[in-house]
């Protein structure tokens, strides 16, 4: 382990841990977060720091490009879906936040890709979750540079992930019952601005859902 990490742990163990020992020991027995957040793996976007929260406050699900796949049961591995199921059905969180961000490497790779999929890799296949967002951005002829297209797709992908959340029956039923709200946000790490993308709650649902 790098020396920087070892030194950091030592500061945590002798500082933060000692100051908050009672709280951390309680958390060791049970976690009760009210918010689940789907965030990118990007090392520059740390939800705990960004929202200035304590351990136990947010149940964070991190993956490439903060994507939520649509509900399906045919595949073999469902890390994000399993985490969402645990957060909603076991922890009973009240909000799910999709946190997109600027300069996302996954979205840039999607926009630069010629729609081919590398059979020996994983990124291309995973990023196909956001393919509808890419198509919608490319259909806007006024968005005509890779920089603008990537920026637009980063935000559009958040909206599509919110839509995909509603394909999960145990999420959809709770949103309809007013027990769960779905929120989209976008962090512009270039200037520190947080932008609202969308929100889904019981009041905003069409009557035919």
Domain of residue 3 covers 1-29
Q: In this predicted model, what pLDDT tens digit does every residue of 175-185 receive, in sequence order?
A: 999 999 999 99
- 89 & 166 share domain: yes
**Per-residue pLDDT reduced to its tens digit, 75-88:** 877 999 999 999 99
| Same domain, yes or no: 136 and 161 | yes
pTM exceeds 0.85? yes
| Same structural domain, 69 and 11 | no
- What's the mean pLDDT in 38-58? 97
Q: Are 162 and 195 within one domain?
A: yes
Q: What is the 3-state secondary structure (H, E, C) of the chain?
A: CCHHHHHHHHHHHHCHHHHCHHHHHHHHHCCCCCEEEEEECCCCCCHHHHCCCCCCCEEEEEEHHHCCCCCCCCCCCCHHHHHHHHHHHHCCCCEEEEEEECCCHHHHHHHHCCCCCCCCCCHHHHHHHHHHHHHHHHCCCCCCCHHHHHHHHHHHHHHHHHHHHCCCHHHHHHHHCCCCEEEEEEEECCCCEEEEEEEECHHHCCCCC
């Amino acid at each position: 382990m790098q020396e920087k990490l070892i030194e950091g742990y030592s500061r945590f163990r002798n500082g933060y841990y000692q100051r908050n020992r009672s709280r951390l020991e309680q958390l060791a027995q049970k976690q009760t977060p009210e918010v689940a957040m789907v965030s990118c793996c990007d090392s520059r976007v740390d939800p705990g720091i960004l929202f200035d929260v304590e351990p136990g406050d947010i149940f964070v699900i991190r993956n490439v490009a903060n994507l939520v796949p649509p509900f399906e049961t045919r595949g073999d591995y469902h890390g994000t879906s399993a985490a969402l199921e645990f957060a909603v059905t076991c922890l009973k969180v009240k909000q799910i936040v999709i946190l997109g961000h600027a300069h996302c490497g996954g979205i840039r790779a999607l926009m630069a890709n010629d729609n081919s999929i590398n059979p020996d890799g994983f990124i291309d296949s995973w990023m196909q979750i956001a393919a509808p967002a890419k198509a919608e951005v490319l259909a806007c002829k006024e968005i005509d540079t890779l920089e603008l297209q990537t920026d637009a797709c980063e935000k559009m992908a958040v909206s599509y992930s919110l839509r995909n959340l509603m394909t999960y029956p145990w999420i959809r039923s709770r949103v309809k019952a007013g027990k769960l709200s779905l929120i989209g946000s976008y962090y512009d790490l270039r200037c520190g601005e947080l932008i609202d993308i969308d929100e889904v709650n019981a009041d905003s649902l069409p009557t035919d859902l």
